[in-house]
Structure 1
Amino acid sequence: MKKLNSIIFILFISLTAFAQYDYDTSDKYPFGRPNPEAPEQIKDYEAMIGECNCKSSTRKQDGTWNEEIDLIWRWKYILNGMSVQDETLKADGGHSGSIRQFVADSSRWYVHWFSSKTPSTKFPVWEGNKKDDKIVLYKEQKAPNGTDGFFRLTFYDMSETGYKWIGEWVDKTESVVFPTWKINCIRQNQ
């Protein structure tokens, strides 16, 4: 009887241990799944989960746009479906990624960004929310002339076929808007 109880206990512990990863990436769910215990906002990024082929372009100093660079933008649920991670794999070798966590106490997303070209001991952080059909994130940043403002990131036109992203410097009132980076993504077959 003691041996049977030990076997049952070990099976219970084993099943419990595996259950804690039910929403992580797996063969069946290569990009994970949202955990039902996560804040409902975990689904804000639902349209991006998976992999897209994208075209990225940044603005030159003279105001014109650089040639587009190909990139793969890959998204998945992490931390057993409680957060979102993305990574970009760029044809020019400049790879980057983010960890995205929704903090219920502040009702905001916090996005911690990192890059292979600019390693850092302290990651820059954007914060924001989904507004209507867009995700809008901000980080304080001065303009080259010293004017206070933000670097605003916006995901829009999100659908099953892809999405668009734009990075813009905006003043504190958001009446001055200067786009500096844009990315257009088309979803790959899953």
Structure 2
Amino acid sequence: MKKAYITIVLIITSITAFAQYEYDVSETYPYGKANPNAPDQIKDFDTLIGECNCKSTSRKQDGTWNSTIDMIWRWKYIMNGMGVQDETLKVDGGHSGSIRQFIADSSKWYVHYYSSKSPSLTLSTWTGNKQANGNIVLYRKQKAPNGMDGFFRLTFYDITKIGYKWIGEWVDFSEKIVYPTWKIECKK
């Protein structure tokens, strides 16, 4: 009788634990799943979830472009499907990532960025949304090297089931002046 009781308690505990984390990374879902209790926008990054082989290039100080660097860009649902995390693994040893949360009260994504090459006490934060054209656009206030006020704008575009493109650009507040500084192309 006591053994049967312990077995029942263990089964109930296992079921409860599974239900509590059923949208987390698992053998069946190696990149997790979107939690149906999350805001609908949790699926904005759905097509990016998984792993891509990418080519990354950034602009040099003199305005020319650096050589392309190979990288892996890996995306997954975190916090039991309530958030999205990505990480990049670059062949040059520079790695980075972001934690993404959609906050319904402001109807915006908040993206917190971190990097192995420039550790920080506080994480940089971008905010933005998925646009009607399917692009995901995020902004962070940033001055240009000449002191002009503006944003650093991040855009995911050409998003399909087989890949996507990403660009980082400095833009003035009117977005009439656009200066690309970083480009990435990814294929699944």
Q: Please report the TM-score for the alignment, with normalisation by the length of structure 2.
A: 0.95
Q: Which residue of 2 aligns with 1:104?
A: 104
Q: Which residue of 1 aligns with 2:92?
A: 92
Aligned pairs, how many? Answer: 187
Once the two structures are superposed, residues 11-42 of structure 1 have per-residue CA deviations (whole angstroms, 9 ceiling, x without a partner) of: 32331122111011111110111011111101
Q: Which residue of 2 aligns with 1:56?
A: 56
Secondary structure of 1:45 counterpart:
helix
> What is the rounded CA distance, in whole Å, between the counterparts of 1:159 and 1:109 in structure 2?
20
Q: Percent identity?
A: 67
Matched, 1:43 2:64: no
Q: Which consecutive unaligned segments of at least 5 residues does structure 1 have?
A: none
Q: Which residue of 1 aligns with 2:148?
A: 147
> What is the rounded CA distance, in whole Å, between the counterparts of 2:148 and 2:107 in structure 1?
28
> What is the rounded CA distance, in whole Å, between the counterparts of 1:56 and 1:119 in structure 2?
20
Following superposition of structure 1 onto structure 2, how do residues 59-138 of structure 1 map, counting pairs within 5 Å?
A: 59-132=59-132, 133-138=134-139
Once the two structures are superposed, residues 56-77 of structure 1 have per-residue CA deviations (whole angstroms, 9 ceiling, x without a partner) of: 0111122111110000000000
Q: Which residue of 1 aligns with 2:170?
A: 169
> What is the rounded CA distance, in whole Å, between the counterparts of 1:128 and 1:85 in structure 2?
16
Root-mean-square deviation (Å): 1.5
Matched, 1:158 2:159: yes
Once the two structures are superposed, residues 108-152 of structure 1 have per-residue CA deviations (whole angstroms, 9 ceiling, x without a partner) of: 000000001111110000000000210000000000111110000
Q: Please report the TM-score for the alignment, with normalisation by the length of structure 1.
A: 0.94
Letter of the 2:124 counterpart:
P
